[in-house]
Amino acid sequence: MTSHLARRSVLTGALAAAAVALAPRASAASRQQILHVDPRGRGDHTTVQGAVSAVPGDGWTIVLAPGVYRETVLVPLTATNLTLRGSTSDPRDTVIVYDNAAGTAKPSGGTYGTTGSASTTVQADGFTARDLTFANDWLRADHPDITSGTQAVAIKVQGDRSAFLNCRFLGHQDTLYADSTSLGIFARQYFRDCYVEGDVDFVFGRATAVYEHCHFRTLDRTDLAAAPYGFVFAPSTAVANPRGYLVLNSRITSDAPAAHYKLARPWVPGSDTTARPMLTVRESILGPGIDPDAPYMNMQDIYPWQAQRFAEYRNAGPGARIDVPENRPQLTDAEARLQTRSAYLGDWTPWKGC
């Protein structure tokens, strides 16, 4: 497991990049819908939430100066078509991070729960993030008193047409929560050139989500004596939704020993016992950390993974080896032609102009 000190040094390393000045301000006419955030007071706001709360309506852009923003952020339903971006092209320079877990005690009583643990929550439609890191640096080793509420979300995304370009998502359990605002809404989300790390179910939720040219990295664990250490994906797709998670032209690497991670397990939450999780991983490289013989596992035996919508197509790497065919459902060529980003996202084409 990454040590608390090591994780903090990664985050605070971004602060060293803070010497990079904000880009020169544009003319007043061209920046009417742009806000600048700088923790040293050289922008319109010193916190991300301060800028988000100041947005008066649709279509604004918030530019973040390099630094570590230790705060929780909520992008509400009213902040539609908001763009949040770092002022440099390196997402490591600009980090939004907090350290609540599901089992963390709230000042008002009770605990935060999985949703409440999110460092960043995006409810609004049309959200775009570029060149940013979203993190939750809560660590199990620092909280031995919390044994069952170890979920610690870096970001929960609920809005339709949410795009993340060249972003990083850091955490351990439940890092990236790709979800929707309600069961009947099939929110579409797109992740391109992104990096996601974690251990247990670290990409999960019920959104229709496409992950293209992304890098997923499974972390080592010293608190467990045997495999499995965790699961990369845990979709909870509604049964009425014909599209769940699509991973294409991506790669999965690992800090852990070979075959110590499962590719996925289905999440059928108590709030939706009819869910039929869906995941397709295609034309991607699966490293040795993924168990090739049994890449899928049940979360609850009453909802076996074989009854869900899990499939692969033309993957490569040691973790994609097909030694036990019944454990690795494969798409036919005809089926694969229906499992594309266009089929998943419809008339929304966020990859254009990337």
Q: What are the residue numbers of the active site?
A: 174, 201
What lies within 8 Å, CB to CB, of 37 at 6+ separation is: 43, 44, 45, 46, 47, 48, 50, 51, 62, 63, 64, 65, 69
Rounded Cα distance between 186 and 177, Å, is 14
Burial 158-197 (b: 16+ CB within 10 A, else e): bbbbbbbbbbbbbbbbbbbbbbbeebebbbbbbbbbbbbb
50, exposed or middle or buried, with CB in 10 Å at 0-12, 13-18, 19+? middle
User: How far, CA to CA in Å, does 296 sit from each of 85, 179, 234, 344?
Assistant: 36, 21, 10, 23
User: How far, CA to CA in Å, does 203 sit from each of 81, 189, 266?
Assistant: 24, 13, 11
What are 114's two structure tokens? 């999985």
- Residue 210, helix vs strand vs coil: strand
- Residue 147, helix vs strand vs coil: coil
Q: Where are the alpha helices (DSSP H) in the chain?
A: 4-16, 48-54, 113-116, 333-336, 341-345
What are 1's two structure tokens? 């497991």
Whose CA is closest to 165, among 298, 301, 353, 311?
Answer: 353
